[in-house]
Structure 1
């Protein structure tokens, strides 16, 4: 979906050591390549709040939802995400009823 909208994207399984890559290596890779990390993992949020790394982070806090609903939520936020991507650093949290940006 991201590629279809003109955004470069890569899944963690396609880089480094795939799903066994440590969070710190994912963070370093994302920061070096100016990628946004999209995750459900609170460890990335904690690292961002403590160290501002990864520099660009979207945390999905939606529980179990269908892929179609998840993709629709992201499609609805692409303009905002593109705007945030111009910043040096941001943290965005997508919740069922709210979107928080730090």
Structure 2
């Protein structure tokens, strides 16, 4: 599975994901205009490269449901969380994220403290 970690999330998350089997990850700060990259360009880049956007940003959720882009989105619906706790949360849910990505071309996933929500 390929991931693009949004600017408001730590680079350490993309490094963690890159070390996982069958995963690759980049941070927004490593592509295009780095942290200045507009959301529309991030969406286009993700869709063209079959990458799931990981974000905390509500705007990406709105864009997914209204404009159908980005096609694959994983939204972190938590307040402040330590980088370590965020990585542990992803480690816990990574198997289902990888499985879902292999069978779905379009998805919206929301992860909060209690559960993972998948909306088709």
**TM-score bracket relative to the smaller structure:** over 0.9
Cα RMSD between the aligned structures?
A: 0.8
Gapped regions of structure 1 (runs ≥ 5): none
Name the TM-score, length of structure 2 as normaliser. Answer: 0.82
Gapped regions of structure 2 (runs ≥ 5): 1-15
Alignment of 1:7-86 (within 5 A): 7-86=23-102
Residues 17-71 of structure 1 deviation map (CA, whole Å, 9 limit, x = unaligned): 0000000000000001111100000000000111221000000011111111100
Shift of 1:98: 2.1
Aligned length: 102
Determine which structure has the larger strand proportion and give its number: 2
Runs of 4+ in 1 over 3 A off after TM superposition: none
**Mapped partners of 2:62, 2:118: distance in 1:** 15
